[in-house]
Amino acid sequence: MKPSRKPSTNPGGWKNLFARFRRPPLTDDLWGAAVDATPYARHLSAADLQRLRALATDFLHAKTFEGAAGLQVTETMRALIALRACIPVLNLGLDWYDGWAGIVLYPADFRVPEEYEDEVGVVHRGQSDLCGQSLAQGPMVLSWQAVEHAPAPDQDLVIHECAHKLDTLNGPADGFPPLPAGVGAAPWTRDFTAAFADLRQAVEAGHETRLDPYAAEHPAEFFAVASETFFTRPSILREDYPAVYRQLSLFYRQEPLATP
């Protein structure tokens, strides 16, 4: 079991409360455009949307944005990413995103060096094309193309990479983030292990799965894919892996299928 490092579970805390008196919220135009571009956010209650707007405002003051490969980062881009990044921590608080500050945006997929050791111990070096990357203590790197145009309705790159950030709060990404009060380590391990094994067996057998098969790559990817599906297409997760849906509902302190 990974050592626990639990951030505050006060959604905002006194620090953010005082900050909000000093910071004007996102403008109506920017906020409206971000909500319109995020279908699953439109199902939140008016009160939750108001809290989300305040949290996104704080997020934008806490994080820096940098364009790469010639991309000019606009306020519209910043607002959209802030909204999507804050949905997972809406009832947890921005403390869960402490420890990293930068967001780097590429126009499209970006290339990173890759090194791995094969089964006989030979080290191979090369390059890999990615649409997103989150390293512990490092920046979150995103392809704007993948953020703006998700390959499928159940995919959301920002939530996916934010889930990796949560996962690495207590060590290497392995699908076992620090668990808030009320979420048991044993049930979490049991339910995620069983679901991951089931999905991996289905993918290896060549079966079509409703959950993105990329989740079968590694327990960390299963947690990240399950997290994005939990918010974007919660019915898929509840119908195919109800135990995982239940654990994520406890973890994120949200019930997407119960929102109006």
81-120 pLDDT, tens digit per residue, is 999 999 999 999 999 999 899 999 998 765 565 655 556 6
Q: Look at residues 173, 170, 148 and name the one whose alpha carbon lies nearest to residue 225.
A: 173
Output the pLDDT for position 25. Answer: 76
Question: Are 222 and 198 within 8 A, CB to CB?
Answer: no
Q: Over the range 66-81, which residues count as b (16 or more CB within 10 Å of their CB) and which as e?
A: eeeeebebeeebbbbb
Q: What backbone torsions phi and psi does residue 120 show, to the nearest 5 degrees?
A: -105, 10
Output the pLDDT for position 108. Answer: 77
Please write the tens of the pLDDT for every residue from 39-57: 999 889 999 999 999 999 9
Cα separation of the two ends of the chain? 37
Using the predicted structure, report yes or no on whether residue 127 has a pLDDT greater than 70: no
Distances (CA, A) of 59 to 79, 87, 89, 115: 10, 11, 11, 33
Output the pLDDT for position 99. Answer: 87
Beta-carbon contacts of 180 under 8 Å, excluding residues fewer than 6 positions away, are 6, 9, 92, 250, 251, 253
Q: Residue for token digits 């997929």?
A: 109
Cα(173)–Cα(196) distance, rounded to whole angstroms? 15
| Least confident segment among 91-105, 123-137, 182-196, 235-249 | 123-137
Task: Using pLDDT thresholds of 50, 70 and 90, give the confidence band for residue 21.
Answer: very low
This prediction has a pTM of: 0.86
Q: Look at residues 70, 143, 75, 130 and name the one whose alpha carbon lies nearest to residue 104.
A: 143
